[in-house]
Amino acid sequence: MTVIRLYKGYQLFNGLLLWLPIFYLYQRDIGLTDQQIFGIQAIYYVAFCLLDVPTGVLADRFDYRRFLQLGAITLTTANLIPVFVQNYWGFLAHFLLIALAYSFTSGAGSAYLYEYLQRTGHEDLYKQAEGGARAYSLAGRVAALPAAGVLMQWQFTSPYWLSAVATLVALGIALKLPPLPPGEHHHKEIALKRAVKALRASRYLVLLMVQGVAIFTLVRILQANLFQPVLDAKHLPVAAFGVLMAVTTLFEALGAARPNLIRRAMSDLRAVFVLTTVMALCLALLAPSGLVVTVVCLCVFSLATGLSFPVQRQLVNDAITDPRSRATLLSIESLIDRAVCALVIFVLGGYLARGAMNEFLLHAAAGTVLLMVVVALSIHFVRTKERSQ
């Protein structure tokens, strides 16, 4: 379908951020301290929490496509700031705009795809389409990220320039997305009120959102915040950072492209539990491991990540009974994810300040497994109670 191809193209170019493997080193090279770098990350998550639900409400009220376009425009602007303003305030503005850009798209993207396929009678294609879009985005990174370290050494700001070009292409694709077919979309009642009603009426939906917190937090903490410090601690050359990130991203893309593989062995709920537990174990093993085992753990972690995201997103979308507030509910899920991330990043800063990164990895892994057990038991209890009524 044309809409699926366009959506995949949008995700490919909007996620093609060449600075991902080097942004920590870039900030450190311009004089920022670890405290400032991780402080900016914590502010980023708080800002996202404040912005995500209001933008989701507006997306439900108006047009999902317009918010995808706004996201690409804002992300392009964000990518250019580190080129011209290379200090603490420049990077703070950079990440605040990234928070705004992703708040525009976090709920609107999946809501647009799910609603379009459902209204055209192709809802059975959603999980594969969502996973395929993520795989496209990751495949683009596989092709581009190995060059990040070399580009930075050749021309310091080039990863940010090229990222801005990519998001401009995403904007062009977003402008071509077709409107949603006829169906109930706008409503006089505020979408947030409907979303709150939906959450109150469905404990199962709430628990699914909490379940997704573990996946999102593990991925963000390891891939965005600890990837470079971990590799630096293992004495990997800087030029190889982008290559290794590309390799791990390839494993994530393989998982995202085939989310139905795990379904052959177990239910979606059980799959999320098992995959998240595997991710937590990989995180714990990073602490005592040498470079070779670290690389293996990162690859297994990434494969589990790719398999789990489309399955988790399908579970949440299927549990939403009122499509008129879909983007708002998905934005609330993102808010919960990033609120927890902000708290974890704040704690992470304390661990790093006393040189206890390995201790943090072990504690984060143990906390994740405990959370998953509690959520799994709660879901079992809620579903058993619903069947008996």
Give the range among 70-74, 280-284, 352-356 with minimum mean pLDDT. 352-356
Q: How confident is the model at residue 192 (pLDDT cuts 50, 70, 90)?
A: low
Centre a 10 Å sphere on the Cβ of residue 223 and count the other Cβ atoms it contains.
18
- Report all structural domains of the chain as residue ranges with CATH numbers, in order of start: 2-178+189-388 (1.20.1250.20)
d(CA 177, CA 299): 34
In this prediction, residue 63 carries a pLDDT of 83
For residue 321, pLDDT over 70 is answered with yes
Concatenated DSSP letters for 285-333?
HHTT--HHHHHHHHHHHHHHHHHHHHHHHHHHHHH---GGGHHHHHHHH
pLDDT of 190 > 60? The answer is no
Q: Is the pLDDT of residue 239 over 50?
A: yes
**pLDDT, tens digit (0-9, with 9 covering 90-100), for 57-71:** 788 778 889 999 999
Interatomic CA distance for residues 266 and 242, integer angstroms: 34
Other CB atoms within 10 A of residue 31 CB = 10
**Model confidence pLDDT, tens digit, residues 116-148:** 888 888 877 877 787 778 777 777 777 776 776
List, for residues 30-42, the tens digit of each pLDDT value. Answer: 888 877 887 888 7
Distance set, CA 316 to CA 107, 319, 326 (Å): 12, 5, 10
- Segment 370-378 shows an average pLDDT of 90
Q: 299 is written with which tokens?
A: 């690859």
The per-residue pLDDT for 274 is 92
Q: CA-to-CA distance for 350 and 355, rounded, in angstroms?
A: 9
pLDDT above 90 coverage of the chain, percent? 22
Which two structure tokens, joined as six digits, stand for 316? Answer: 């949440």
In sequence order, what DSSP letters do the residues of 97-143 get, joined into one string?
HHHHHHHHHTTHHHHHHHHHHHHTT-GGGHHHHHHHHHHHHHHHHHH
Question: Where does the pLDDT of residue 290 fall: very low under 50, low under 70, confident under 90, or very high at 90 and above?
Answer: confident
3-state secondary structure of 368: helix
Range list of H helices, the chain: 2-14, 23-29, 34-61, 64-84, 88-105, 108-119, 126-144, 148-154, 158-174, 191-201, 203-219, 227-233, 241-257, 260-263, 268-286, 291-319, 326-353, 357-388
Share of the chain above pLDDT 70, in %: 93
Asked whether residue 19 carries a pLDDT value surpassing 90, the answer given is no
How confident is the prediction for the chain on average, in pLDDT? 83
199-214 pLDDT, tens digit each = 777 888 888 888 888 8
Mean of pLDDT values over 203-231: 83
